[in-house]
Structure 1
Amino acid sequence: MNILQSALGGGAIFPAPETLLDGLTFERAARTVPNVPYTLAELLAHLAVTQRASLDLASGRTETWPEELDIWPGVVNAAAFDALLTDLRLGLAEARALAEQPSPRARDVLTDLAAHSAYHWGQVALLRRVLGEWPQ
């Protein structure tokens, strides 16, 4: 595993996203925290949608970032939350695979994705702790 794969999917000094998602339910993730502008569910939806757009760029499925993309979509129910968790997990696997021997374009996009995601995965960890939902 190279450093880009570790940065995208956990390893070395990065916590594994799977650990951060472990045992999380919509009911828990939809709880609000005072003075935090989004719920954990909304934060995860942001991660999922930006990850998907980045992977489309990195893989060559698209040439440009989608201009109308809602990067802070809401999550309305448990089924939508479960679907976004599945998309996050599938995207993480795709990102690690693309990072194994990336093209120059994929390397640039995945490096940006890794930095963006690290910031938000840290927020996920903090919100889970604040909510008393840190996985044991």
Structure 2
Amino acid sequence: MNLLQASLAGGSAFREPSQLLDGLTLAVASRAVPGVPYTLADVLTHLAVTGRASLDLASGGRQTWPEGLDVWPDPPTTEEGFRRLVDDLTLGLAEAQVLAGDPSSRARDVLTDLAAHNAYHWGQVALLRRLLGDWPEGDEA
């Protein structure tokens, strides 16, 4: 695994997204934290939308960022929709791992930006889970 793959997957310097998502439900992800202008579901939806747009750029599926893309759309309102969101995030991270294995120059630039962006927001996810009293069982870090 190269440094870019590790930065996208977590595990050394960052908590792995799979750990941050473990056991998370829509009910918890939709709860507001006083003083915080977004919910976990909002942040996860943002990660999914921006991740997909970035992966489309990195893979050559698009040449430019989608004009007018709503990067903070409303999060899902059903458990089924939330599960789909989590699945999309997980699949997107796997796709990013593959692309980062031997990236073109363009893909490396896009994925490096995505890794930094994601690190920031996965940190928010970790903090919000702690503030909501929903940190994954047995994970004290």
Paired residue for 1:30? Answer: 30
Paired residue for 1:120? Answer: 121
Could you tell me how far apart the structure 2 residues matched to 1:83 and 1:68 are? 23
Give the alignment's TM-score, normalised by structure 1. Answer: 0.98
CA RMSD of aligned residues (A): 0.7
Segments of 5+ residues of structure 1 without an aligned counterpart are none
Paired residue for 1:133? Answer: 134
Paired residue for 1:66? Answer: 66
Paired residue for 1:7? Answer: 7
Q: What displacement does 1:95 show?
A: 0.2
Could you tell me how far apart the structure 1 residues matched to 2:11 and 2:38 are? 27
Could you tell me how far apart the structure 2 residues matched to 1:12 and 1:80 are? 30
Paired residue for 2:44? Answer: 44
2:113 match: secondary structure: helix
2:101 match: secondary structure: coil
Runs in 1 of length 4+ with deviation above 6 angstroms?
Answer: none
1:99 match: secondary structure: helix
Q: Residue by residue, what CA displacement relative to the aligned partner does 1:40-63 show, whole Å, maximum 9, x if unpaired?
A: 001100001000000000000000
Give the alignment's TM-score, normalised by structure 2. Answer: 0.94
Paired residue for 1:111? Answer: 112
1:121 match: secondary structure: helix
Could you tell me how far apart the structure 2 residues matched to 1:114 and 1:105 are? 14
Q: Residue by residue, what CA displacement relative to the aligned partner does 1:79-124 show, whole Å, maximum 9, x if unpaired?
A: 2211111100000000001000000000000000000000000000
Moved more, 77-86 or 32-41: 77-86
% identical equivalent positions: 66
Paired residue for 1:53? Answer: 53
Q: Residue by residue, what CA displacement relative to the aligned partner does 1:12-48 show, whole Å, maximum 9, x if unpaired?
A: 2111000000000001100001111111001100001
Q: What displacement does 1:10 show?
A: 1.2
Could you tell me how far apart the structure 1 residues matched to 2:49 and 2:90 are? 12
Paired residue for 1:96? Answer: 97
Could you tell me how far apart the structure 1 residues matched to 2:13 and 2:113 are? 18
